[in-house]
Structure 1
Amino acid sequence: MNWLTVTCTILVILGSLPLWVSMYQFLIIGIHSRRNHYARTAACYPRVSILVPAWNEASVLTSTIKILMNMSYPKDKLRIYVIDDASTDETPQLMAEKTRQFPNNVFHLRRENGGQGKAHTLNHGIRLVLEEDWSEAFLIMDADVLFEQNALRKMTRHLSDPQVGAVTAYIKEGSRPGNLMTRFIDFEYITAQAASRRAQNVMSFMACLAGGAQLHTRKNLEAIGGAIDTSSLAEDTFTTFKTQLAGHQAIFDGNAIVWAEEPDNIDGLWKQRLRWARGNWQITKQYWHLWFNKTAHARLGGFAFGMIWFAILLMPVYMILAATGLVVLFFSDFAWSWMLFRMFWILNVIVYVFVTLFSLLIDPKSARQSWSAGVLFPGLISLTVIVLSYFPGALEAVLLRGQEYQDWREMGIGTRVAVLFIYSWLALSMVAALLAKCVEKTPLKKLAMPLLLLSGYGPLLCAITFNSYVAELRGKEMKWDKTEKSGKVEIQ
């Protein structure tokens, strides 16, 4: 092999890293039943202050407060603080009613000058509540999140272990009626939360405590400074890192279930995930000394955590590397490029089938509602290649018309275009997903979902991540784009 072939082969191998990392995480889940934190739990009912940041959330607060008050948790150990970020809707009037209805449990903390974002709003409430000695634990949540009746009790049981500083719940998409987008998110949450966070429990680290449902001991909250980070767009991830760097354990409880309303269109998802992705870059830069450095922290500095973190953060780069390697090899050594292409997609088949089936088994209830989104997750074009890769000779029959080519010059123009297109698709799928986002705001918006089906939900997330690179490099303003809520979330 010459240097060009070796270099391009390395690019394709690097492009497959996220697949190997995904498989590794899901294999780890297999021992979660034997290696988890449940054996170290016991009934535990600390005095919990629930902090609910709210800006113009009148449409959801009535339901949220009602459900919180109906939880199976001692009412004398429960206080709900709605931190009103200078709302201009009916929130003040609604809260006046709720504080009269529940005088010992519901409190209204209002900021007259708001608009600085969730972290600043939370810190206003944390500061006031910490001034009193009553609170032994703090539950940080979003105004639209609905807790199942026993969710808080399942979270607090972990606090019986003094090593635990924070616990996060399993947030599920609960919009009803839903649509294709919410079903995609529903399936994604099975893989990203029910699956990945179980694996992280096994490996004794946590990448992120869900911003909509995170429980902290008073000791932990004070240890991380008694405030939420306001310097980034990922205050929940910063809190997670600080918790573990302070020597406390962060736990995910997949049986503590809460329901949230998620974006139901591409633009809404784009705003939400761009904020998350930019926050992850800010985390990466802030803790640059931590990566792959076990002397800085035994777990967060470990190889496994670094690989998982960068497999997500650099996913678009991996996709572009693999596509670039294949396209260059197409011209320099077609026979070798075809073999690598086949191997890459056979690995895709294995990971896709394993992850999809495993995810559906982890949460059968959600699986019944989102199985079609799981199947369509990579997009119709990638799904077609995955299916063809499963059957020996099928790709050759479709793309090469049953011929064995040693050089691209032997092909007809149609075959060349088809092969180059499918080699490039890993990168082009992100472009197609971006096009779907752009089309959604035009008179041709009905084409947005068909384009998304072709490109895939996964490539859409990668396109958002790539956009975060651009936003961070340009030093774009850290604007908090609040996700619009309609109050259509239900406990299923």
Structure 2
Amino acid sequence: MMFKVIYFAVLFSVSLVILGLWLLNRRRYRTQLLVFPKVSILIAARNEEHTILRCLQAIENLDYPRDKLEILIGDDASTDNTYRVVRQFIQDKPHYKCITVTQNLGLARGKGNVLAHLAHLATSNYFFITDADIQVPPAWIQLMLAQVRPYIGIVTGITTVTGPRLFDKLQSIDWVYALGLFQVVTDLDLPVFTMGNNMLITREAYEATGGYENIPFSITEDAKLYQEVVKRHFHTVNIFDRSVLAFSTPAQDMRQLLWQRRRWMEGISHIPFYMAAVFILYSCFYPIWIPFFQEVSPLFYWGILVAKIAWQSAFIKLCAQRVNLKFTIWQLVVYEFFMMFLGIASIIYYILPVKITWKQRKYA
């Protein structure tokens, strides 16, 4: 029992520290550019015929000089009409280029391989990377680029999912919650992570790693690239602001969501130990709390759960306010049970002796 009491004491102490830091350490971001350099937007697409148009239309709406944009799209051997859809969209847009990628460069595989090909084609010093199912905001380029200084290698925006279903809302809450926890740490100027669907990497930082073709393969290629950039003593910036909030299409069902989470869990080895410790601490809540009822009074037992939900909901509300998102109280309560199920199911999926399936490919 003593161990469990210590665990809950540590959990709530860490929670209060996180909440306090989030309230006190609200970073101000540079918002104006004095010059508008040429930038390259790199998009890897595999079987995205139903989603890539929303991505390309959002890029068309960017608030950045058209003659300073270079959009490079890599069709990753799609088996649907992705290439045809893209070619039709860009036929009268000379600043777009679409190539089909069929060969591997060095160690690169999958999305990392496509990005490696596109990086070789890019002619600017700034690589903006997003996914084919992502809708970026109009100010995306300007605000991300405004954070770049000589020692900055990667700038990361914030992403969540959008959709009308409760299932979509719960996924959105999950993204905002996780990214909020990451932001608390990055606001302390500690390196944590990047997201390959909403990132800027300078050519200098990318080439310092040798590029994806020289980086050991990882199914979470963005986390591995980030790790290699930090190893080379570049600094990074994470922006938690509405101006760089990108929207992704949600997982359509629980099976697809679990495969996504299993892939993400592979990336845990690439995040710093202090961030991994935070997630492990929170993931242990239910395995320790559930059998705790045998040792304490019902009032204390249920009080722990209520306190956990109350803190979590308050933190998520604060995160959502910063990016002008709204979640109802009942959605936040439902999210608690959604997260409990998703956490247990994700662990089961992770230990299953089967290959990860992603974008119709299997990975060991």
Give the TM-score normalised by the residue count of structure 2.
0.85
The 3-state SS of whatever aligns with 2:17 is helix
For residues 346 and 95 of structure 1, the distance between their equivalents in structure 2, rounded to whole angstroms, comes to 50
For residues 194 and 298 of structure 2, the distance between their equivalents in structure 1, rounded to whole angstroms, comes to 42
Tell me what 2:44 maps to. 53
- Tell whether the 8 Å contact from 1:277 to 1:313 is kept in structure 2 after alignment: no
Measure how far apart 1:40 and its partner are: 9.4
Measure how far apart 1:37 and its partner are: 5.6
Structure number with bigger Rg:
1
Measure how far apart 1:182 and its partner are: 0.5
Distance 1:112 1:273, change over 3 A: same
Matched, 1:480 2:358: yes
- Tell whether the 8 Å contact from 2:153 to 2:229 is kept in structure 1 after alignment: yes
- Identity among equivalent pairs (%): 19
Tell me what 1:344 maps to. 304
What CA RMSD, in Å, does the superposition of the two structures yield over aligned residues?
3.0
Tell me what 1:376 maps to. 334
Measure how far apart 1:12 and its partner are: 4.2
Measure how far apart 1:270 and its partner are: 0.9
Matched, 1:321 2:311: no
Matched, 1:25 2:18: yes
Measure how far apart 1:274 and its partner are: 1.3
Look up the equivalent residue of 2:308 and give its one-letter code. Answer: N
Distance 1:59 1:481, change over 3 A: closer
Measure how far apart 1:272 and its partner are: 0.8
Matched, 1:94 2:85: yes
The 3-state SS of whatever aligns with 2:192 is coil
After TM superposition, which residue ranges in structure 1, 4 or more long, deviate above 6 angstroms? none
Look up the equivalent residue of 2:181 and give its one-letter code. Answer: S
Measure how far apart 1:191 and its partner are: 2.0
Matched, 1:366 2:358: no
For residues 481 and 248 of structure 1, the distance between their equivalents in structure 2, rounded to whole angstroms, comes to 31
**1:187-220 per-position Cα deviation (integer Å, ceiling 9, x unaligned):** 2233222x33432332112422122111111111
Distance 1:138 1:61, change over 3 A: same
Tell me what 1:274 maps to. 262
Tell me what 1:183 maps to. 169
- Tell whether the 8 Å contact from 1:278 to 1:468 is kept in structure 2 after alignment: no
Measure how far apart 1:343 and its partner are: 6.2
**1:366-425 per-position Cα deviation (integer Å, ceiling 9, x unaligned):** 215x553213221xxxxxxxxxxxxxxxxxxxxxxxxxxxxxxxxxxxxxxxxxxxxxxx
Look up the equivalent residue of 1:477 and give its one-letter code. Answer: K
For residues 117 and 59 of structure 2, the distance between their equivalents in structure 1, rounded to whole angstroms, comes to 21
The 3-state SS of whatever aligns with 1:233 is coil
Measure how far apart 1:15 and its partner are: 5.2
For residues 45 and 4 of structure 2, the distance between their equivalents in structure 1, rounded to whole angstroms, comes to 47
Structure 1 unaligned blocks of 5 or more: 1-7, 285-289, 292-305, 379-455, 484-492
Tell me what 1:429 maps to. none
Mapping of residues 310-459 of structure 1, within 5 Å: 310-313=277-280, 315-324=282-291, 326=292, 330=294, 334=295, 341=301, 344-345=304-305, 347-348=307-308, 350-363=310-323, 365-367=324-326, 371-378=329-336, 456-459=337-340
Measure how far apart 1:243 and its partner are: 2.4
Mapping of residues 86-235 of structure 1, within 5 Å: 86-103=77-94, 105-112=95-102, 116-126=109-119, 128-129=120-121, 134-159=123-148, 161-175=149-163, 178-193=164-179, 195-227=180-212, 229=215, 231-235=217-221
For residues 25 and 44 of structure 1, the distance between their equivalents in structure 2, rounded to whole angstroms, comes to 37
For residues 34 and 18 of structure 2, the distance between their equivalents in structure 1, rounded to whole angstroms, comes to 30
Q: Give the alignment partner of residue 257 of structure 1, picking from 242, 245, 267.
A: 245
- Tell whether the 8 Å contact from 2:32 to 2:142 is kept in structure 1 after alignment: no
For residues 349 and 112 of structure 2, the distance between their equivalents in structure 1, rounded to whole angstroms, comes to 20
The 3-state SS of whatever aligns with 2:147 is helix
Look up the equivalent residue of 2:84 and give its one-letter code. Answer: Q
Matched, 1:462 2:340: no
Look up the equivalent residue of 2:51 and give its one-letter code. Answer: V
Look up the equivalent residue of 1:79 and give its one-letter code. Answer: E
Tell me what 1:78 maps to. 69
Measure how far apart 1:351 and its partner are: 1.8
Give the TM-score normalised by the residue count of structure 1.
0.65
For residues 357 and 317 of structure 1, the distance between their equivalents in structure 2, rounded to whole angstroms, comes to 23
For residues 376 and 208 of structure 1, the distance between their equivalents in structure 2, rounded to whole angstroms, comes to 28
Distance 1:267 1:342, change over 3 A: closer
Greater helix proportion: 1
Measure how far apart 1:42 and its partner are: 4.5
- Tell whether the 8 Å contact from 1:169 to 1:252 is kept in structure 2 after alignment: yes
Distance 1:341 1:96, change over 3 A: closer
For residues 158 and 335 of structure 2, the distance between their equivalents in structure 1, rounded to whole angstroms, comes to 21
The 3-state SS of whatever aligns with 2:100 is strand
**1:166-186 per-position Cα deviation (integer Å, ceiling 9, x unaligned):** 1111213223xx211111112
For residues 468 and 147 of structure 1, the distance between their equivalents in structure 2, rounded to whole angstroms, comes to 31
The 3-state SS of whatever aligns with 1:377 is helix
**1:313-366 per-position Cα deviation (integer Å, ceiling 9, x unaligned):** 464444323444x26xx3xxx4x5668636634642552353244345334x42
For residues 157 and 76 of structure 1, the distance between their equivalents in structure 2, rounded to whole angstroms, comes to 19
Look up the equivalent residue of 2:326 and give its one-letter code. Answer: A
Distance 1:69 1:349, change over 3 A: closer
The 3-state SS of whatever aligns with 1:310 is helix
Q: Give the alignment partner of residue 270 of structure 2, picking from 283, 292, 301.
A: 283
Look up the equivalent residue of 1:11 and give its one-letter code. Answer: K
**1:263-302 per-position Cα deviation (integer Å, ceiling 9, x unaligned):** 132122111111111221x436xxxxx74xxxxxxxxxxx
